[in-house]
Amino acid sequence: MLKGRHLIDPMDFSLEEIEEIFKLADQIILNPESYIHSCDGKILATLFYEPSTRTRLSFEAAMLRLGGKVIGFSEPSSSSVAKGESISDTIRTIACYADIAVMRHPKEGAPRVASMYSDIPLINAGDGGHQHPTQTLTDLLTIKSKKKNLSNLTIGLCGDLKFGRTAHSLIKAMSRYKNNKFILISPKELKVPDYIRREVLEKNNIEFVEVERLEDVIGMVDILYMTRVQRERFFNEEDYIRLKDSYILDGEKMKNANDEMIILHPLPRVNEISYEVDNDPRACYFGQAKYGMYVRMALIAKMLGVK
Ligand code: NCD
């Protein structure tokens, strides 16, 4: 039962529960008209303390397409946060107005803390450089739709694996399916955090390698997950400038990739994928953004327990 639960970490839901969400998402994709009144009379609150395009707007679009309404803020400076209100007081208040809430916050763990004070289901829409579980639902649904399953895959994650929360959540989630392998491609300074290496990969005996050159491994992956260097999490601008263009996926590099490989990217893209790659049939990142809306429709419906 997903009704009334929070979603803070990709491991909060069992594989069966995730499957349930995907099943509903597939039904919504096939028959969206049947769901236009599913959330009549319900309100979603979006509490965004950090910039967002896709996550916030796909949640809002999802709720509107289910017949519900949306309230919220996308700029903490326009809410009482600017007056010094605590996150626990904010969520207690929002719970009086809305039926479900989505929170993005620059501090790792903030949505977890908020969930402890929340009487309504709360969804983590990204907490600092930590986790981003609904991007992961988006990624999994895209992979499942394109590859027909979530096991026996070699997943290459490339870019900022240190601060990239979407990469952390995807590694956690894909480690739960059988026989997946990881190729982690990053500069030395931007390798995955220790807790991912130890507690997720090593602890579960997952096969993985850490490399620096994309060209050497591009032909070995079924999925190439490109990520942006997370400028806002760097301590100094010089490091960012030095590392920002570590990887640029272009037509030349794509020549060595296999025909069935798919390219994903949570977006926004900065320089890491050349525009020429967009026309390659293996580029799936815009389709991925669309799956994100459908999977959030299914998630909201399940967490609210509507028919
Ligand atoms: C990602 C995020 O916010 O972590 N964006 C998203 O939600 N689609 C990736 C990023 O900002 O680089």
pLDDT tens across the length of the chain (307 residues): 999 999 999 999 999 999 999 999 999 999 999 999 999 999 999 999 999 999 999 999 999 999 999 999 998 888 888 788 999 999 999 999 999 999 999 999 999 999 999 999 999 999 999 999 999 999 999 999 999 999 999 999 999 999 999 999 999 999 999 999 999 999 999 999 999 999 999 999 999 999 999 999 999 999 999 999 999 999 999 999 999 999 999 999 999 999 999 999 999 999 999 999 999 999 999 999 999 999 999 999 999 999 8
Domain 133-288 sits in which CATH superfamily? Answer: Aspartate/ornithine carbamoyltransferase (3.40.50.1370)
Mutate-to-test residue for ligand 1 from 132, 290, 293, highest number of ligand atoms within 8 A of CB: 132
Tokens of 76: 């903490």
| Annotated domain spans of the chain | 10-132+292-304, 133-288
Taking the centre of ligand 1 as the mean of its atom positions, its distance from the CA of residue 165, in whole angstroms, is: 8
Backbone angles phi and psi of 159, in degrees to 5: 125, -130
Mutate-to-test residue for ligand 1 from 49, 131, 135, 288, highest number of ligand atoms within 8 A of CB: 135
Question: Is 168's C-beta closer than 6 angstroms to any atom of ligand 1?
Answer: no
Taking the centre of ligand 1 as the mean of its atom positions, its distance from the CA of residue 34, in whole angstroms, is: 30
Q: For residue 160, which atom of ligand 1 is closest to its CA?
A: 12
CATH class of the domain at 10-132+292-304: alpha beta
- The upper half-sphere exposure of residue 152, i.e. CA atoms within 13 Å in the direction of its Cβ, equals 3
Q: Judge whether 10-132+292-304 and 133-288 match in fold.
A: yes
Count CB neighbours of 285 within 10 A. Answer: 19
In angstroms, rounded to a whole number, what is the distance separating the alpha carbons of residues 57 and 296?
A: 11
Report the predicted TM-score, pTM, of the whole model to 2 decimal places: 0.97
C-alpha separations of 3 from 6, 21, 243, 299, 300 in Å: 9, 12, 43, 10, 9
Question: Is 104's C-beta closer than 6 angstroms to any atom of ligand 1?
Answer: no
Helix-helix angle 15-30:133-147, to 10 degrees: 70
